[in-house]
Structure 1
Amino acid sequence: MELLKEVGIIGASHGWVATLKNGIVCQDDLDLHAPDNNPKRIPLPPLETLPHNQTQIVTNIAMSSSSPEDEDCIVAVKFLGPQLSLCRPAQRDCTWSNIRISDPSFFSSHVMYSKRDEMFSMPSSRGHYTRSWDLVRHMKEPKLQMLMQPPEDQIPRMTKRAWQRLESCCTKQHYLVESSHTDETFMLKWYTQSRPTLNVWDHFLLLKIDKEGNALYTKDIGDLCILLSRSEPICIPAKLNRRAKNCIYMLTEHEFAIVGIGSNQKFCRTPFTCSLPCYISKN
Protein backbone atom coordinates (compact mmCIF):
# COMPACT_ATOMS: atom_id res chain seq x y z
CA MET A 1 0.00 0.00 0.00
CA GLU A 2 2.91 2.34 0.69
CA LEU A 3 4.14 1.76 -2.85
CA LEU A 4 0.70 2.39 -4.37
CA LYS A 5 0.46 5.73 -2.58
CA GLU A 6 3.74 6.85 -4.08
CA VAL A 7 3.31 9.45 -6.80
CA GLY A 8 4.64 8.54 -10.22
CA ILE A 9 3.84 4.85 -10.70
CA ILE A 10 4.23 4.28 -14.43
CA GLY A 11 3.76 0.55 -15.09
CA ALA A 12 4.70 -3.02 -14.29
CA SER A 13 6.39 -5.96 -15.99
CA HIS A 14 7.28 -9.47 -14.75
CA GLY A 15 6.03 -8.63 -11.25
CA TRP A 16 8.15 -5.48 -10.95
CA VAL A 17 6.64 -2.03 -10.80
CA ALA A 18 8.36 1.09 -12.10
CA THR A 19 8.00 4.51 -10.50
CA LEU A 20 9.09 8.02 -11.40
CA LYS A 21 10.63 9.60 -8.34
CA ASN A 22 12.88 12.64 -8.44
CA GLY A 23 13.41 12.06 -12.12
CA ILE A 24 14.67 8.51 -11.58
CA VAL A 25 12.93 5.27 -12.52
CA CYS A 26 13.07 2.66 -9.75
CA GLN A 27 11.94 -0.96 -9.54
CA ASP A 28 10.15 -2.61 -6.63
CA ASP A 29 9.60 -6.34 -6.35
CA LEU A 30 5.91 -7.28 -6.03
CA ASP A 31 6.74 -10.85 -4.98
CA LEU A 32 4.16 -11.82 -2.38
CA HIS A 33 6.79 -13.85 -0.51
CA ALA A 34 9.22 -10.95 -0.18
CA PRO A 35 9.36 -9.20 3.22
CA ASP A 36 6.93 -6.28 3.35
CA ASN A 37 9.32 -4.02 5.23
CA ASN A 38 12.21 -4.47 2.83
CA PRO A 39 11.14 -4.54 -0.82
CA LYS A 40 13.93 -4.86 -3.33
CA ARG A 41 14.63 -1.59 -5.15
CA ILE A 42 16.91 -1.16 -8.12
CA PRO A 43 17.64 2.44 -9.10
CA LEU A 44 18.05 3.19 -12.78
CA PRO A 45 20.01 6.09 -14.28
CA PRO A 46 18.39 9.55 -14.47
CA LEU A 47 16.09 9.92 -17.42
CA GLU A 48 17.35 11.81 -20.44
CA THR A 49 14.75 13.81 -22.30
CA LEU A 50 15.32 14.13 -26.03
CA PRO A 51 14.85 17.65 -27.47
CA HIS A 52 11.18 18.61 -27.87
CA ASN A 53 10.09 15.41 -26.04
CA GLN A 54 8.82 14.72 -22.53
CA THR A 55 9.57 12.03 -19.91
CA GLN A 56 6.78 12.61 -17.39
CA ILE A 57 3.91 10.79 -19.12
CA VAL A 58 4.56 7.12 -19.85
CA THR A 59 2.46 4.68 -21.84
CA ASN A 60 4.07 1.58 -20.29
CA ILE A 61 7.29 -0.29 -19.57
CA ALA A 62 8.51 -3.73 -20.63
CA MET A 63 11.39 -5.98 -19.59
CA SER A 64 13.23 -8.63 -21.56
CA SER A 65 13.53 -11.02 -18.59
CA SER A 66 11.98 -11.62 -15.19
CA SER A 67 14.62 -9.73 -13.21
CA PRO A 68 16.48 -6.48 -13.93
CA GLU A 69 19.41 -8.01 -12.05
CA ASP A 70 20.01 -10.45 -14.93
CA GLU A 71 23.09 -9.42 -16.88
CA ASP A 72 21.29 -9.31 -20.22
CA CYS A 73 17.99 -7.86 -18.97
CA ILE A 74 16.85 -4.75 -20.85
CA VAL A 75 14.24 -2.35 -19.49
CA ALA A 76 12.26 -0.37 -22.07
CA VAL A 77 10.23 2.73 -21.21
CA LYS A 78 7.80 4.04 -23.83
CA PHE A 79 6.88 7.68 -23.26
CA LEU A 80 3.81 9.32 -24.72
CA GLY A 81 5.22 10.81 -27.89
CA PRO A 82 8.26 9.86 -29.98
CA GLN A 83 10.70 8.71 -27.28
CA LEU A 84 11.60 5.10 -26.42
CA SER A 85 14.38 4.54 -23.88
CA LEU A 86 16.29 1.31 -23.21
CA CYS A 87 18.90 0.36 -20.62
CA ARG A 88 20.58 -2.66 -19.01
CA PRO A 89 20.23 -2.19 -15.21
CA ALA A 90 22.80 -4.87 -14.34
CA GLN A 91 25.62 -3.08 -16.14
CA ARG A 92 27.98 -1.13 -13.91
CA ASP A 93 27.88 2.02 -16.04
CA CYS A 94 24.22 1.75 -16.97
CA THR A 95 23.01 4.50 -19.29
CA TRP A 96 19.87 5.06 -21.33
CA SER A 97 19.85 4.47 -25.06
CA ASN A 98 17.24 6.90 -26.34
CA ILE A 99 15.38 6.37 -29.60
CA ARG A 100 13.39 9.02 -31.40
CA ILE A 101 10.45 7.46 -33.27
CA SER A 102 9.70 9.34 -36.47
CA ASP A 103 6.32 7.77 -37.27
CA PRO A 104 3.49 9.55 -35.37
CA SER A 105 1.31 6.42 -35.51
CA PHE A 106 3.52 4.97 -32.73
CA PHE A 107 3.44 7.98 -30.39
CA SER A 108 0.72 6.44 -28.15
CA SER A 109 1.61 2.77 -28.72
CA HIS A 110 2.42 0.27 -25.97
CA VAL A 111 5.72 -1.58 -26.07
CA MET A 112 6.12 -5.31 -25.44
CA TYR A 113 9.07 -7.70 -25.47
CA SER A 114 9.01 -10.64 -27.85
CA LYS A 115 11.03 -13.60 -26.63
CA ARG A 116 10.58 -15.20 -30.04
CA ASP A 117 12.17 -12.28 -31.89
CA GLU A 118 14.33 -11.04 -28.98
CA MET A 119 13.17 -7.50 -29.68
CA PHE A 120 10.86 -4.83 -28.30
CA SER A 121 7.83 -4.32 -30.54
CA MET A 122 4.94 -1.89 -30.91
CA PRO A 123 1.82 -1.87 -33.09
CA SER A 124 0.84 1.21 -35.07
CA SER A 125 -2.21 3.18 -33.97
CA ARG A 126 -4.44 1.41 -36.51
CA GLY A 127 -2.77 -1.98 -36.14
CA HIS A 128 -1.68 -2.30 -39.77
CA TYR A 129 2.01 -2.82 -39.06
CA THR A 130 4.57 -3.16 -36.26
CA ARG A 131 8.05 -1.82 -35.57
CA SER A 132 10.70 -3.57 -33.50
CA TRP A 133 13.90 -2.38 -31.81
CA ASP A 134 16.87 -3.88 -30.00
CA LEU A 135 20.22 -2.56 -28.75
CA VAL A 136 22.28 -4.22 -31.49
CA ARG A 137 20.91 -4.62 -35.01
CA HIS A 138 17.84 -2.41 -35.01
CA MET A 139 18.73 0.52 -32.80
CA LYS A 140 18.60 3.24 -35.45
CA GLU A 141 16.73 1.36 -38.17
CA PRO A 142 13.79 -0.51 -36.58
CA LYS A 143 12.48 -3.65 -38.15
CA LEU A 144 9.20 -2.99 -39.95
CA GLN A 145 6.60 -5.69 -40.45
CA MET A 146 3.44 -5.10 -42.45
CA LEU A 147 0.47 -7.14 -41.24
CA MET A 148 -1.57 -8.90 -43.89
CA GLN A 149 -5.16 -8.10 -43.01
CA PRO A 150 -7.67 -10.99 -42.81
CA PRO A 151 -9.74 -11.79 -45.91
CA GLU A 152 -13.31 -10.50 -45.97
CA ASP A 153 -14.83 -13.91 -45.29
CA GLN A 154 -12.81 -14.11 -42.07
CA ILE A 155 -13.91 -10.77 -40.63
CA PRO A 156 -16.19 -11.19 -37.57
CA ARG A 157 -19.88 -11.07 -38.42
CA MET A 158 -21.48 -8.00 -36.89
CA THR A 159 -24.33 -5.76 -37.89
CA LYS A 160 -23.64 -2.49 -39.65
CA ARG A 161 -24.73 -0.67 -36.51
CA ALA A 162 -22.22 -2.64 -34.42
CA TRP A 163 -19.37 -1.75 -36.79
CA GLN A 164 -20.43 1.90 -36.71
CA ARG A 165 -20.35 1.81 -32.93
CA LEU A 166 -16.80 0.47 -33.00
CA GLU A 167 -15.72 3.19 -35.41
CA SER A 168 -17.28 5.86 -33.19
CA CYS A 169 -15.48 4.71 -30.03
CA CYS A 170 -13.53 7.49 -28.36
CA THR A 171 -10.66 5.14 -27.48
CA LYS A 172 -9.12 2.50 -29.74
CA GLN A 173 -6.03 0.76 -28.46
CA HIS A 174 -3.91 -2.02 -29.93
CA TYR A 175 -1.76 -4.36 -27.85
CA LEU A 176 0.74 -6.98 -28.91
CA VAL A 177 0.89 -9.94 -26.55
CA GLU A 178 2.95 -13.10 -26.83
CA SER A 179 2.39 -16.54 -25.36
CA SER A 180 5.80 -18.06 -24.66
CA HIS A 181 4.09 -21.33 -23.69
CA THR A 182 2.57 -21.86 -27.14
CA ASP A 183 4.89 -19.65 -29.26
CA GLU A 184 1.95 -17.58 -30.48
CA THR A 185 1.60 -13.83 -30.98
CA PHE A 186 -1.70 -11.97 -30.76
CA MET A 187 -2.88 -8.45 -31.42
CA LEU A 188 -5.68 -7.31 -29.16
CA LYS A 189 -7.90 -4.47 -30.37
CA TRP A 190 -9.64 -2.74 -27.48
CA TYR A 191 -12.54 -0.39 -28.26
CA THR A 192 -13.91 1.77 -25.43
CA GLN A 193 -16.95 4.02 -25.36
CA SER A 194 -17.63 6.09 -22.24
CA ARG A 195 -21.11 7.03 -21.14
CA PRO A 196 -22.36 9.99 -19.08
CA THR A 197 -23.12 7.66 -16.16
CA LEU A 198 -19.43 6.58 -16.11
CA ASN A 199 -20.45 3.16 -17.34
CA VAL A 200 -17.99 2.05 -19.99
CA TRP A 201 -18.72 -0.13 -23.00
CA ASP A 202 -15.76 -2.27 -24.06
CA HIS A 203 -15.36 -4.48 -27.09
CA PHE A 204 -12.40 -6.68 -27.99
CA LEU A 205 -11.25 -8.12 -31.30
CA LEU A 206 -8.35 -10.57 -31.28
CA LEU A 207 -6.04 -11.46 -34.13
CA LYS A 208 -3.46 -14.23 -34.27
CA ILE A 209 -0.28 -13.18 -36.09
CA ASP A 210 2.17 -15.68 -37.56
CA LYS A 211 5.89 -15.12 -38.22
CA GLU A 212 5.18 -13.92 -41.78
CA GLY A 213 2.79 -11.23 -40.53
CA ASN A 214 -0.45 -12.91 -41.57
CA ALA A 215 -3.27 -11.85 -39.23
CA LEU A 216 -6.42 -13.89 -38.64
CA TYR A 217 -9.29 -13.11 -36.29
CA THR A 218 -9.84 -15.69 -33.59
CA LYS A 219 -12.36 -16.24 -30.80
CA ASP A 220 -10.58 -19.18 -29.24
CA ILE A 221 -7.08 -19.15 -27.73
CA GLY A 222 -7.53 -22.53 -26.08
CA ASP A 223 -6.37 -22.85 -22.49
CA LEU A 224 -4.75 -19.40 -22.48
CA CYS A 225 -5.92 -16.17 -20.90
CA ILE A 226 -4.77 -12.57 -21.36
CA LEU A 227 -4.12 -10.13 -18.51
CA LEU A 228 -4.64 -6.56 -19.65
CA SER A 229 -4.01 -3.37 -17.70
CA ARG A 230 -1.66 -0.41 -17.86
CA SER A 231 1.11 -2.89 -17.25
CA GLU A 232 2.72 -4.94 -19.99
CA PRO A 233 0.04 -7.31 -21.43
CA ILE A 234 0.52 -10.94 -20.41
CA CYS A 235 -0.67 -14.17 -22.01
CA ILE A 236 -0.40 -17.24 -19.78
CA PRO A 237 -1.95 -20.71 -19.39
CA ALA A 238 -5.15 -20.29 -17.40
CA LYS A 239 -4.39 -23.25 -15.15
CA LEU A 240 -1.26 -21.59 -13.74
CA ASN A 241 -3.28 -19.20 -11.59
CA ARG A 242 -6.62 -21.03 -11.63
CA ARG A 243 -8.05 -18.53 -14.10
CA ALA A 244 -10.79 -18.98 -16.67
CA LYS A 245 -9.48 -20.04 -20.07
CA ASN A 246 -10.12 -18.16 -23.31
CA CYS A 247 -10.75 -14.97 -21.35
CA ILE A 248 -9.38 -11.47 -20.94
CA TYR A 249 -8.77 -10.21 -17.42
CA MET A 250 -9.01 -6.44 -17.70
CA LEU A 251 -8.12 -3.95 -14.98
CA THR A 252 -8.74 -0.23 -15.47
CA GLU A 253 -9.15 2.83 -13.26
CA HIS A 254 -12.89 2.14 -13.17
CA GLU A 255 -13.37 -1.62 -12.93
CA PHE A 256 -12.02 -5.13 -12.88
CA ALA A 257 -13.76 -7.56 -15.21
CA ILE A 258 -13.34 -10.89 -16.94
CA VAL A 259 -14.36 -10.88 -20.59
CA GLY A 260 -15.05 -14.00 -22.61
CA ILE A 261 -13.15 -13.82 -25.90
CA GLY A 262 -15.75 -15.86 -27.74
CA SER A 263 -18.78 -13.91 -26.50
CA ASN A 264 -17.30 -10.48 -25.64
CA GLN A 265 -19.47 -10.59 -22.53
CA LYS A 266 -18.25 -9.39 -19.15
CA PHE A 267 -18.67 -11.52 -16.07
CA CYS A 268 -17.26 -11.24 -12.57
CA ARG A 269 -17.38 -7.47 -13.02
CA THR A 270 -16.36 -5.21 -10.11
CA PRO A 271 -16.83 -1.47 -10.73
CA PHE A 272 -14.87 0.93 -8.55
CA THR A 273 -13.50 4.44 -8.49
CA CYS A 274 -9.75 4.83 -8.19
CA SER A 275 -7.46 7.78 -8.88
CA LEU A 276 -4.37 5.58 -9.05
CA PRO A 277 -3.19 3.59 -12.08
CA CYS A 278 -3.91 -0.14 -11.71
CA TYR A 279 -1.69 -3.15 -12.35
CA ILE A 280 -1.71 -6.93 -12.42
CA SER A 281 1.37 -8.62 -11.04
CA LYS A 282 2.68 -12.07 -11.96
CA ASN A 283 1.49 -13.34 -8.60
Structure 2
Amino acid sequence: MSQLLFRLSKLSSRKDVLQIHKSVRLFSTSPYLTLGSIGEDLPGEGGGYIGDILLFDPAKEELVTVRDKTIPEDLVNSRLVGASHGWTFFSDRCNHNSVRICDLFNPLASKSKTKIIPLPLLTTMIYGQTKVVWNVAMSSSSPHQDNEEEDCVVAINFLGNQLSLCRPGRDLGWTNKQIPFVCSENSNLMYSKRDQRFYLPAPGGNYLCSWDLHFDSDPKFNELVFLNLPELPQFGWELLNSCFKEDHWVESPSGQSFLIKWYSNVPSKRHKDPILMVFTEEEDTKEGTRNMCCLLLEVFI
Protein backbone atom coordinates (compact mmCIF):
# COMPACT_ATOMS: atom_id res chain seq x y z
CA MET A 1 0.00 0.00 0.00
CA SER A 2 2.83 2.40 0.82
CA GLN A 3 4.35 1.67 -2.61
CA LEU A 4 0.99 2.43 -4.24
CA LEU A 5 0.67 5.81 -2.55
CA PHE A 6 4.28 6.64 -3.38
CA ARG A 7 3.61 5.98 -7.05
CA LEU A 8 0.48 8.14 -6.94
CA SER A 9 2.45 11.00 -5.40
CA LYS A 10 5.01 10.71 -8.19
CA LEU A 11 2.26 10.90 -10.79
CA SER A 12 0.83 14.03 -9.17
CA SER A 13 4.18 15.84 -9.50
CA ARG A 14 4.35 15.67 -13.29
CA LYS A 15 4.94 19.09 -14.86
CA ASP A 16 2.62 18.55 -17.83
CA VAL A 17 -0.47 18.20 -15.68
CA LEU A 18 -2.55 21.34 -16.25
CA GLN A 19 -5.39 20.35 -13.96
CA ILE A 20 -4.44 17.94 -11.19
CA HIS A 21 -6.44 17.63 -7.99
CA LYS A 22 -4.88 17.99 -4.59
CA SER A 23 -6.00 14.61 -3.30
CA VAL A 24 -7.02 11.41 -4.99
CA ARG A 25 -10.69 10.50 -4.77
CA LEU A 26 -12.19 7.05 -4.68
CA PHE A 27 -15.35 6.14 -6.57
CA SER A 28 -17.23 4.30 -3.81
CA THR A 29 -18.70 1.74 -6.22
CA SER A 30 -16.01 1.72 -8.88
CA PRO A 31 -12.53 0.17 -8.90
CA TYR A 32 -10.82 3.44 -9.84
CA LEU A 33 -9.06 6.28 -8.06
CA THR A 34 -9.36 9.66 -9.74
CA LEU A 35 -6.04 11.44 -10.26
CA GLY A 36 -6.98 14.39 -12.46
CA SER A 37 -6.59 15.40 -16.08
CA ILE A 38 -3.80 16.33 -18.47
CA GLY A 39 -4.79 19.14 -20.81
CA GLU A 40 -3.61 19.37 -24.42
CA ASP A 41 -4.77 22.99 -24.75
CA LEU A 42 -7.06 22.08 -27.64
CA PRO A 43 -10.57 23.60 -27.84
CA GLY A 44 -13.46 21.22 -27.22
CA GLU A 45 -17.12 21.28 -28.21
CA GLY A 46 -19.01 24.14 -26.55
CA GLY A 47 -15.86 25.58 -24.95
CA GLY A 48 -13.48 23.96 -22.53
CA TYR A 49 -10.60 21.90 -23.80
CA ILE A 50 -9.64 18.36 -24.78
CA GLY A 51 -7.42 16.34 -22.50
CA ASP A 52 -6.67 12.94 -20.99
CA ILE A 53 -8.37 11.66 -17.83
CA LEU A 54 -6.08 9.91 -15.36
CA LEU A 55 -7.42 7.04 -13.25
CA PHE A 56 -5.75 4.34 -11.17
CA ASP A 57 -6.89 0.75 -10.72
CA PRO A 58 -5.78 -0.32 -7.19
CA ALA A 59 -6.60 -3.98 -7.83
CA LYS A 60 -4.23 -4.19 -10.81
CA GLU A 61 -1.97 -1.33 -9.67
CA GLU A 62 -2.21 0.12 -13.15
CA LEU A 63 -2.67 3.61 -14.49
CA VAL A 64 -5.77 3.96 -16.68
CA THR A 65 -5.83 6.79 -19.21
CA VAL A 66 -9.01 7.89 -21.01
CA ARG A 67 -7.77 9.91 -23.97
CA ASP A 68 -9.32 12.82 -25.88
CA LYS A 69 -11.93 13.64 -23.25
CA THR A 70 -13.75 16.98 -23.57
CA ILE A 71 -13.38 18.98 -20.35
CA PRO A 72 -16.46 21.30 -20.22
CA GLU A 73 -15.85 24.99 -19.71
CA ASP A 74 -18.13 24.93 -16.66
CA LEU A 75 -15.60 22.71 -14.89
CA VAL A 76 -12.40 24.53 -15.80
CA ASN A 77 -12.66 26.89 -12.81
CA SER A 78 -14.06 24.26 -10.44
CA ARG A 79 -12.40 22.03 -7.89
CA LEU A 80 -13.07 18.37 -7.26
CA VAL A 81 -14.49 17.78 -3.76
CA GLY A 82 -15.66 14.16 -3.87
CA ALA A 83 -16.75 11.14 -5.88
CA SER A 84 -19.39 8.43 -5.56
CA HIS A 85 -20.99 5.83 -7.86
CA GLY A 86 -18.90 6.99 -10.82
CA TRP A 87 -19.97 10.63 -10.41
CA THR A 88 -17.67 13.44 -9.31
CA PHE A 89 -18.65 16.47 -7.23
CA PHE A 90 -17.29 19.87 -8.28
CA SER A 91 -17.45 23.13 -6.37
CA ASP A 92 -17.08 26.53 -8.04
CA ARG A 93 -13.82 28.21 -7.03
CA CYS A 94 -15.50 31.64 -6.90
CA ASN A 95 -18.58 30.42 -5.04
CA HIS A 96 -18.05 27.29 -2.94
CA ASN A 97 -21.83 26.99 -2.37
CA SER A 98 -22.33 26.25 -6.07
CA VAL A 99 -22.01 22.49 -6.54
CA ARG A 100 -22.58 20.20 -9.51
CA ILE A 101 -22.08 16.51 -10.20
CA CYS A 102 -20.85 15.05 -13.48
CA ASP A 103 -19.60 11.85 -15.11
CA LEU A 104 -16.33 13.40 -16.32
CA PHE A 105 -14.15 10.74 -14.66
CA ASN A 106 -16.37 7.79 -15.55
CA PRO A 107 -14.39 5.75 -18.14
CA LEU A 108 -17.65 4.41 -19.63
CA ALA A 109 -19.20 7.86 -20.16
CA SER A 110 -19.24 9.80 -23.43
CA LYS A 111 -15.91 11.42 -24.32
CA SER A 112 -17.45 14.46 -26.01
CA LYS A 113 -20.61 15.09 -23.97
CA THR A 114 -20.10 15.17 -20.24
CA LYS A 115 -23.31 14.97 -18.22
CA ILE A 116 -23.50 17.80 -15.68
CA ILE A 117 -26.28 17.99 -13.08
CA PRO A 118 -26.41 21.23 -11.04
CA LEU A 119 -27.33 20.89 -7.38
CA PRO A 120 -29.12 23.53 -5.26
CA LEU A 121 -26.93 26.21 -3.69
CA LEU A 122 -25.55 24.99 -0.38
CA THR A 123 -26.88 26.64 2.75
CA THR A 124 -24.87 26.93 5.94
CA MET A 125 -26.29 25.99 9.34
CA ILE A 126 -25.61 28.03 12.47
CA TYR A 127 -22.09 27.23 13.69
CA GLY A 128 -21.54 25.28 10.48
CA GLN A 129 -19.70 25.90 7.25
CA THR A 130 -19.67 24.57 3.71
CA LYS A 131 -16.18 25.54 2.55
CA VAL A 132 -14.52 22.24 3.49
CA VAL A 133 -16.11 19.01 2.23
CA TRP A 134 -14.95 15.87 4.02
CA ASN A 135 -17.02 13.17 2.31
CA VAL A 136 -19.80 12.68 -0.21
CA ALA A 137 -22.11 9.73 -0.85
CA MET A 138 -24.95 8.85 -3.20
CA SER A 139 -27.70 6.28 -2.78
CA SER A 140 -27.81 5.48 -6.49
CA SER A 141 -25.69 5.68 -9.62
CA SER A 142 -28.60 7.27 -11.53
CA PRO A 143 -29.19 10.83 -10.27
CA HIS A 144 -31.39 11.74 -13.23
CA GLN A 145 -34.79 13.29 -12.74
CA ASP A 146 -36.33 10.86 -15.25
CA ASN A 147 -35.15 7.85 -13.26
CA GLU A 148 -38.42 6.27 -12.08
CA GLU A 149 -36.94 3.04 -10.73
CA GLU A 150 -35.13 4.52 -7.72
CA ASP A 151 -34.95 7.83 -5.90
CA CYS A 152 -31.36 9.06 -5.75
CA VAL A 153 -30.23 11.00 -2.67
CA VAL A 154 -26.98 12.94 -2.46
CA ALA A 155 -25.33 13.54 0.92
CA ILE A 156 -22.38 15.81 1.74
CA ASN A 157 -20.50 15.75 5.03
CA PHE A 158 -18.66 18.96 5.91
CA LEU A 159 -15.94 19.87 8.35
CA GLY A 160 -17.70 20.40 11.67
CA ASN A 161 -21.13 18.87 12.23
CA GLN A 162 -23.20 19.61 9.13
CA LEU A 163 -24.71 16.97 6.87
CA SER A 164 -26.64 18.15 3.80
CA LEU A 165 -28.95 15.98 1.70
CA CYS A 166 -30.97 16.50 -1.48
CA ARG A 167 -32.50 14.68 -4.44
CA PRO A 168 -30.85 15.90 -7.67
CA GLY A 169 -33.29 17.39 -10.15
CA ARG A 170 -36.16 17.17 -7.66
CA ASP A 171 -35.36 19.22 -4.56
CA LEU A 172 -35.05 23.00 -4.81
CA GLY A 173 -32.94 23.16 -1.67
CA TRP A 174 -30.86 21.10 0.74
CA THR A 175 -32.06 19.50 3.94
CA ASN A 176 -29.44 20.21 6.60
CA LYS A 177 -28.90 17.85 9.52
CA GLN A 178 -26.79 18.52 12.58
CA ILE A 179 -24.41 15.65 13.24
CA PRO A 180 -24.29 14.94 17.00
CA PHE A 181 -20.48 15.05 17.00
CA VAL A 182 -17.72 16.99 15.28
CA CYS A 183 -16.58 15.27 12.11
CA SER A 184 -13.08 15.10 10.78
CA GLU A 185 -11.46 13.87 7.58
CA ASN A 186 -11.07 10.37 9.02
CA SER A 187 -14.85 9.88 9.39
CA ASN A 188 -16.13 8.41 6.14
CA LEU A 189 -19.70 8.84 4.97
CA MET A 190 -21.11 5.86 3.05
CA TYR A 191 -24.47 4.59 1.84
CA SER A 192 -25.69 1.09 2.64
CA LYS A 193 -27.77 -0.37 -0.16
CA ARG A 194 -28.81 -3.21 2.16
CA ASP A 195 -30.12 -0.95 4.94
CA GLN A 196 -30.96 2.06 2.75
CA ARG A 197 -29.22 4.36 5.19
CA PHE A 198 -26.24 6.73 5.22
CA TYR A 199 -23.63 5.67 7.80
CA LEU A 200 -20.96 7.71 9.57
CA PRO A 201 -18.63 6.27 12.23
CA ALA A 202 -18.41 8.42 15.35
CA PRO A 203 -14.98 9.56 16.63
CA GLY A 204 -13.25 6.68 18.35
CA GLY A 205 -14.95 4.10 16.14
CA ASN A 206 -17.15 2.69 18.93
CA TYR A 207 -20.48 3.94 17.60
CA LEU A 208 -22.12 4.09 14.19
CA CYS A 209 -24.46 6.98 13.34
CA SER A 210 -26.95 6.70 10.48
CA TRP A 211 -29.76 8.52 8.65
CA ASP A 212 -32.54 7.19 6.43
CA LEU A 213 -33.66 8.58 3.06
CA HIS A 214 -36.68 10.49 4.37
CA PHE A 215 -34.74 13.44 5.84
CA ASP A 216 -37.27 13.93 8.65
CA SER A 217 -36.05 11.40 11.23
CA ASP A 218 -33.39 11.75 13.91
CA PRO A 219 -30.07 9.95 13.52
CA LYS A 220 -29.86 6.37 14.76
CA PHE A 221 -26.95 5.12 16.87
CA ASN A 222 -25.53 1.59 17.03
CA GLU A 223 -22.88 0.59 19.53
CA LEU A 224 -20.06 -1.45 18.01
CA VAL A 225 -19.08 -4.39 20.22
CA PHE A 226 -15.67 -5.79 19.26
CA LEU A 227 -15.13 -9.54 19.60
CA ASN A 228 -12.21 -11.86 18.93
CA LEU A 229 -9.65 -9.09 19.34
CA PRO A 230 -6.11 -10.09 18.37
CA GLU A 231 -3.76 -11.11 21.16
CA LEU A 232 -1.20 -8.35 21.41
CA PRO A 233 1.35 -7.58 24.12
CA GLN A 234 0.75 -4.48 26.22
CA PHE A 235 3.20 -2.38 24.21
CA GLY A 236 1.28 -3.36 21.04
CA TRP A 237 -1.95 -1.85 22.33
CA GLU A 238 -0.06 1.19 23.59
CA LEU A 239 1.37 1.63 20.10
CA LEU A 240 -2.10 1.49 18.53
CA ASN A 241 -3.46 3.98 21.07
CA SER A 242 -0.68 6.41 20.17
CA CYS A 243 -1.36 6.20 16.42
CA PHE A 244 -3.49 8.38 14.21
CA LYS A 245 -6.60 6.33 13.35
CA GLU A 246 -9.19 6.30 10.58
CA ASP A 247 -12.42 4.29 10.77
CA HIS A 248 -14.04 3.27 7.49
CA TRP A 249 -17.44 1.56 7.36
CA VAL A 250 -17.82 -0.33 4.07
CA GLU A 251 -20.27 -2.75 2.52
CA SER A 252 -19.60 -5.54 0.03
CA PRO A 253 -21.83 -6.11 -3.03
CA SER A 254 -23.42 -9.03 -1.14
CA GLY A 255 -24.46 -6.69 1.70
CA GLN A 256 -21.88 -7.76 4.28
CA SER A 257 -20.62 -4.91 6.46
CA PHE A 258 -17.02 -4.30 7.50
CA LEU A 259 -15.22 -1.82 9.73
CA ILE A 260 -11.65 -1.03 8.67
CA LYS A 261 -9.39 0.60 11.24
CA TRP A 262 -6.33 2.25 9.70
CA TYR A 263 -3.51 3.17 12.10
CA SER A 264 -0.47 5.30 11.21
CA ASN A 265 2.15 7.19 13.17
CA VAL A 266 1.80 10.71 11.73
CA PRO A 267 -1.33 12.17 10.07
CA SER A 268 0.69 13.86 7.33
CA LYS A 269 2.46 10.55 6.56
CA ARG A 270 -0.42 8.10 6.68
CA HIS A 271 1.17 5.88 4.05
CA LYS A 272 4.23 5.15 6.22
CA ASP A 273 4.15 1.68 7.84
CA PRO A 274 0.38 1.58 8.46
CA ILE A 275 -1.39 -0.99 10.60
CA LEU A 276 -4.69 -2.33 9.27
CA MET A 277 -7.37 -4.04 11.33
CA VAL A 278 -10.52 -5.39 9.65
CA PHE A 279 -13.75 -6.36 11.45
CA THR A 280 -16.86 -8.00 10.01
CA GLU A 281 -20.38 -7.74 11.36
CA GLU A 282 -21.82 -10.94 12.84
CA GLU A 283 -25.35 -11.99 11.95
CA ASP A 284 -26.56 -12.37 15.56
CA THR A 285 -26.31 -8.63 16.26
CA LYS A 286 -28.82 -7.40 18.83
CA GLU A 287 -31.01 -4.32 18.52
CA GLY A 288 -28.97 -1.17 19.12
CA THR A 289 -25.62 -2.97 18.90
CA ARG A 290 -23.49 -4.55 16.21
CA ASN A 291 -21.10 -7.33 17.05
CA MET A 292 -17.86 -6.93 15.13
CA CYS A 293 -15.47 -9.87 14.77
CA CYS A 294 -11.80 -9.28 13.89
CA LEU A 295 -10.81 -10.85 10.58
CA LEU A 296 -7.39 -9.40 9.91
CA LEU A 297 -4.49 -7.58 11.52
CA GLU A 298 -1.91 -6.51 8.94
CA VAL A 299 1.21 -4.36 9.17
CA PHE A 300 2.53 -2.89 5.91
CA ILE A 301 6.26 -2.38 5.94
TM value normalised by structure 1: 0.69
* 1:94 alignment partner in structure 2: 172
CA-CA distance at 1:81 after TM superposition? 0.9
Counterpart Cα distance in 2 of 1:14 and 1:197 = 28
- For structure 1, which runs of at least 5 residues remain unmatched after alignment? 220-261, 267-283
Structure 2 counterpart of 1:14, one-letter code: H
Deviation string, structure 1 residues 85-136 (Cα, Å, up to 9, x no partner): 0000031x432110012334x4552211011111101111111111111242
* 1:146 alignment partner in structure 2: 223
Q: Secondary structure at the match of 1:166?
A: helix
Identify if the C-alpha distance between structure 1 residues 57 and 196 changes in structure 2 by more than 3 Å, giving closer, same or farther.
closer
Deviation string, structure 1 residues 34-72 (Cα, Å, up to 9, x no partner): 233432111101000101111011111000011211450
Give runs of ≥4 in structure 1 deviating > 6 Å. 195-199
* 2:200 alignment partner in structure 1: 122
Are the counterparts in 1 of residues 98 and 122 from structure 2 also a CA contact under 8 Å?
yes
* 1:77 alignment partner in structure 2: 156
Structure with the largest fraction of strand: 2
* 1:180 alignment partner in structure 2: 253
Counterpart Cα distance in 1 of 2:78 and 2:239 = 36
Q: Secondary structure at the match of 1:12?
A: strand
* 2:83 alignment partner in structure 1: 12
Query: How many correspondences in the alignment?
Result: 216
- For structure 2, which runs of at least 5 residues remain unmatched after alignment? 1-17, 21-35, 38-76
* 1:249 alignment partner in structure 2: none
* 2:234 alignment partner in structure 1: 160
Are the counterparts in 2 of residues 184 and 210 from structure 1 also a CA contact under 8 Å?
no
CA-CA distance at 1:198 after TM superposition? 9.0
What pairs up with 1:1-283 in 2 under 5 angstroms?
2=19, 4=36, 7-21=78-92, 22=95, 23-29=97-103, 30-69=105-144, 70=147, 72-91=151-170, 93-104=171-182, 106=183, 109-136=187-214, 139-150=216-227, 154-169=228-243, 171-181=244-254, 183-194=255-266, 200-210=272-282, 212=285, 213-219=290-296, 263-265=298-300
Q: Per chain length, whose mean CA-contact separation is higher, i.e. which structure has more relative contact order (CA < 8 Å, sep 6+)?
A: 1
Q: Secondary structure at the match of 1:59?
A: strand
Q: Secondary structure at the match of 1:95?
A: coil
Moved more, 42-51 or 70-79: 70-79
Structure 2 counterpart of 1:177, one-letter code: V
Query: What is the root-mean-square deviation of aligned Cα atoms in Å?
Result: 2.5
Counterpart Cα distance in 2 of 1:46 and 1:195 = 32
Larger radius of gyration: 2
Identify if the C-alpha distance between structure 1 residues 164 and 7 changes in structure 2 by more than 3 Å, giving closer, same or farther.
farther
Structure 2 counterpart of 1:148, one-letter code: V
Are the counterparts in 2 of residues 10 and 58 from structure 1 also a CA contact under 8 Å?
yes
Are the counterparts in 1 of residues 119 and 169 from structure 2 also a CA contact under 8 Å?
no
